[in-house]
């Protein structure tokens, strides 16, 4: 396919942009993806002239986001691949988190200098709601790869640029991790740029898969050697709850993310208090494999008392969470659906999102004692209302 006349295309897109933004009749309609984004920007009241306020995170927040991001594990590899491409002398590589905050930026010095003037810098928020239609923010909004050229950007200050962005997902659970973007002067756009970024992201996701498997293998080998000769059930998971090693129990591939002050019910092991280890968590029962959960509604606020052979664990409950605990207990072994729980709590079945959010917050407090689909007390848990 012949390379399009980029200068001619840029002029055509400028005419379309100006007509749409001013409410006129464009010579032709913008691409559907671009139109959807421009409509969102107009509804938000963003300024196409570039007067939108830039939001830039403090250095401490940037570093916190970097350390929390899995993309830190593969960003150097992406730099080594993408910045060695034949056209790398004219573009910059940008990697953001799932909020559209730029965590890493590298590439051509001249392009970086021009990007500084746009606020296209590390720590800047490049979601649509902040800077208008752009490949990063629109890729997040559309949950799909996006390439924008010249006046397809909402802000006129971004018209001298092209941007090609691809979302990156965690290969294990599909969670959005962020976006990889290549940006450069519009008239230097090469037809292979989109493919280049997409390929780099696929390689990055594959590398993340390998890194996690290597970590789980290392954790399994180390902990299986440490636990050799010990008796009783044990479960070893990484910091995200992925199972590395099982002894005397059979678990799902993943459990709820452990926390040091929150019990977790492991079928076959009972109530476990997680113990932090290098690279993950060790879960072993501290006493009896059965647990008794007592809800005491006579106190204000209500509390949930979790009894086992170890010291009781007392969890304060909000009035709404006390209602949920009461409803789940009343439902018995068959449990209660989100729809039924909405009826109980709100008098209708229209509050499913709110119900799920409330149950999620409750489970963060008491762990997997409360099972889901339907909501019910997990195996090994008995309950008493007082």
pLDDT in tens, 282-330: 998 865 444 555 656 545 667 777 765 445 667 788 888 888 888 888 8
284 belongs to a structural domain: no
In a 13 Å sphere around the CA of 171, the CA atoms on its Cβ side amount to 14
Do 172 and 321 have their domain in common?
Answer: no
The predicted structure's pLDDT at residue 334: 87
CATH number for position 142 = 3.30.450.40
Q: Which of 147, 127, 150, 123 is nearest to 137 (CA)?
A: 127
Positive or negative, the CA dihedral 257, 260, 263, 268 is positive
The predicted structure's pLDDT at residue 7: 94
Helices 352-366, 319-331: axis angle to 10 degrees equals 90
What CA–CA distances, in Å, run from 304 to 36, 75, 116, 289?
A: 48, 45, 54, 19
259 belongs to a structural domain: no
What is the DSSP code string of 172-240?
TT--EEEEEEEEEEGGG--TTHHHHHHHHHHHHHHHHHHHHHHHHHHHHHHHHHHHTT--S-EEEEETT
Residues forming a β-bridge with 313: 306
228 belongs to a structural domain: no
- pLDDT of residue 348 exceeding 80, the answer is yes
Q: 353 burial class (0-12, 13-18, 19+ CB within 10 angstroms)?
A: exposed
281 belongs to a structural domain: no
The overall average pLDDT reported for the chain is 88
Total structural domains within the chain: 2
Domain limit, last residue, from 169, 191, 210: 210
Average pLDDT over residues 332-358: 89
Q: What is the rounded CA–CA span in Å between residue 108 and residue 134?
A: 20
The predicted structure's pLDDT at residue 267: 66
Give the tens place of pLDDT for each residue, 17-35.
999 999 999 999 999 999 9
- pLDDT of residue 47 exceeding 90, the answer is yes
Do 177 and 31 have their domain in common?
Answer: yes
Do 14 and 115 have their domain in common?
Answer: yes
Do 303 and 203 have their domain in common?
Answer: no
Do 84 and 197 have their domain in common?
Answer: yes
Q: Which domain, by its residues, includes 147? A: 6-210
Domain limit, last residue, from 192, 210, 228: 210
Do 202 and 296 have their domain in common?
Answer: no
Given a contact cutoff of 8 angstroms between Cβ atoms, the answer to whether 250 and 205 are in contact is no
pTM: 0.74
Do 37 and 174 have their domain in common?
Answer: yes
Query: Which of the residue ranges 12-26, 189-203, 273-287 would you say has the lowest mean pLDDT?
Result: 273-287
311 belongs to a structural domain: yes
Positive or negative, the CA dihedral 245, 247, 253, 256 is negative
CATH number for position 348 = 1.10.10
Do 27 and 153 have their domain in common?
Answer: yes
Average pLDDT over residues 213-241: 92
Q: What is the rounded CA–CA span in Å between residue 284 and residue 266?
A: 9
The predicted structure's pLDDT at residue 333: 83
Q: What is the rounded CA–CA span in Å between residue 178 and residue 96?
A: 5
Domain limit, last residue, from 210, 230, 252: 210
- pLDDT of residue 1 exceeding 50, the answer is no
Q: What is the rounded CA–CA span in Å between residue 386 and residue 293?
A: 11
Average pLDDT over residues 220-241: 90
Q: Which of 246, 250, 294, 286 is nearest to 270 (CA)?
A: 286
């Amino acid at each position: 396919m012949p390379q399009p006349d980029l200068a001619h295309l840029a002029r055509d897109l400028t005419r379309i942009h100006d007509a749409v933004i001013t409410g006129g009749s464009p010579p032709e309609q913008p691409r559907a993806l671009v139109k959807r984004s421009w409509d969102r920007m107009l509804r938000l009241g963003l300024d196409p002239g570039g007067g939108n306020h830039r939001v830039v995170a403090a250095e401490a927040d940037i570093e916190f986001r970097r350390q929390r991001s899995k993309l830190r594990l593969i960003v150097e590899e992406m730099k080594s691949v993408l910045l060695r491409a034949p056209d790398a002398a004219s573009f910059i590589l940008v990697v953001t988190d799932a909020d559209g905050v730029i965590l890493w930026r590298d590439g051509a010095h001249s392009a970086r200098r021009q990007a500084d003037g746009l606020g296209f810098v590390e720590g800047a928020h490049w979601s649509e709601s902040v800077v208008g239609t752009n490949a990063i923010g629109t890729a997040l909004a559309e949950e799909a790869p996006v390439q924008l050229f010249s006046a397809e950007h909402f802000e006129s200050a971004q018209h001298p640029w092209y941007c090609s962005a691809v979302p990156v997902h965690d290969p294990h659970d599909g969670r959005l991790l962020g976006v990889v973007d290549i940006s450069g002067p519009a008239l230097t756009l090469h037809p292979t740029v989109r493919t280049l970024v997409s390929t780099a992201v696929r390689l990055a996701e594959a590398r993340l898969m390998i890194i996690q498997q290597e970590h789980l293998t290392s954790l399994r080998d180390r902990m299986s050697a440490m636990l050799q000769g010990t008796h009783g059930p044990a479960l070893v998971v990484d910091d995200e709850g992925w199972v590395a090693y099982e002894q005397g129990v059979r678990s799902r591939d993943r459990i709820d993310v452990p926390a040091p002050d929150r019990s977790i019910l492991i079928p076959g092991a009972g109530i476990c208090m997680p113990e932090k280890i290098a690279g993950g968590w060790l879960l072993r029962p501290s006493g009896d494999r059965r647990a008794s959960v007592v809800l005491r509604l006579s106190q204000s606020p209500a509390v949930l008392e979790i009894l086992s052979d170890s010291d009781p664990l007392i969890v304060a409950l909000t009035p709404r969470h006390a209602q949920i605990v009461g409803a789940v207990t009343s439902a018995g072994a068959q449990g209660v659906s989100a729809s039924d729980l909405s009826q109980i709590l709100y008098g209708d079945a229209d509050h499913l999102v709110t119900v799920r959010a409330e149950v999620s917050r409750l489970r963060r407090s008491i762990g997997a004692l409360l099972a889901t689909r339907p909501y019910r007390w997990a195996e090994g848990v008995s309950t008493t209302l007082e």
